[in-house]
Structure 1
Amino acid sequence: MPEGNDNLNSRVLEAATTGTELRLADATDFAWDEAGFVTEGTRAKDIEAAFGEAVTRENRYTASPVLFIFLKDGKVAKAARIIPDAFFGEDAKKKYGRDVVLTPLEGHKGIPQLARIMLARDHSVAGPGRSTAARGTPCSRFPHRQPRPRPRQQ
């Protein structure tokens, strides 16, 4: 079910590279009312528990660094592979509304590998240069990404 989405992928990469905010709804051209993401290595049963449907046949999702899952009326409308590895695992497996804004961390402009973009519900309350994570905490409290589990090699 996961598929590529060139527009979303390029818009996320551009936002990470330039250090700019991206309203997720502006980067999509299909109907959805909630979205979330998982990172590479997430167990399939955890994805299903978070979003209500299985989106991979594998035991773990490994097709790309990030998989965005878009829901419409509570059902998976689209699962899009994203190449930029620019998200915090701590914000994964959660649902966000159409007002979600992807907000880069301060000081990481031009370095896509370090431009960790946070999903924010209301970025305006944090003031310039800072964002508010889903739970209302400043993004700057996360100085690094949590390690992701790596698939075992056989």
Structure 2
Amino acid sequence: MGPVSDESLDKALIAQTSATAPRLLRDMTGFGWDEVMVLSEGTTADEIQSLTGARIIKGDRYVSSANLMVFRAGGQLVKAVMVTPDAFSSADLRRWLGHDVSVSPGPILRLA
């Protein structure tokens, strides 16, 4: 399953960069999931497979300038979404976060 775009999620994340309150990520998605991981440009295909358990990209390296949000449920890949806001804190990359994760507002989005 390759990465897809999700205009609704994109818009919701962009809105968080100027919002004043945190928002649950699950309220921004239109599909079910219980864990999410954010990956950035330059992550190798082998690293992505090691972290997620799935071969998501075709090339050797994720080269899109969009961040890659990987969603899974019950340990199985649900969706890999390319999101254009390149505004996630590096501290929040490359780790699984649960269904109750919220997106803090501001120019640098934090997942907590």
Q: Return the TM-score normalized by structure 2.
A: 0.91
CA RMSD of aligned residues (A): 1.3
Matching of residue 95 in structure 1 with residue 96 in structure 2: yes
The equivalent of 1:31 in structure 2 is 32
Amino acid across the alignment from 1:16: T
User: Per-residue displacement from partner, 1:79-111 (whole Å, max 9, x unpaired)?
Assistant: 01000111122321111111000113xxx5xxx
Please, which runs of 5 or more residues in structure 2 have no aligned partner?
A: none
* Deviation (angstroms), 1:62: 1.6
Q: CA deviation at 1:65?
A: 2.6
Measured in 2, the distance between the counterparts of 1:8 and 1:20 equals: 17
User: Equivalent pairs: percent with the same residue?
Assistant: 31
Greater RCO structure (CA 8 Å; 6+ sep): 2
Q: Residue 75 of structure 1 corresponds to which residue in structure 2?
A: 76
What is the number of equivalent residue pairs in this alignment?
A: 111
Which structure's CA Rg is the greater one? 1
Q: Residue 116 of structure 1 corresponds to which residue in structure 2?
A: 108
| 1:12–1:22 Cα contact (<8 Å) kept | no
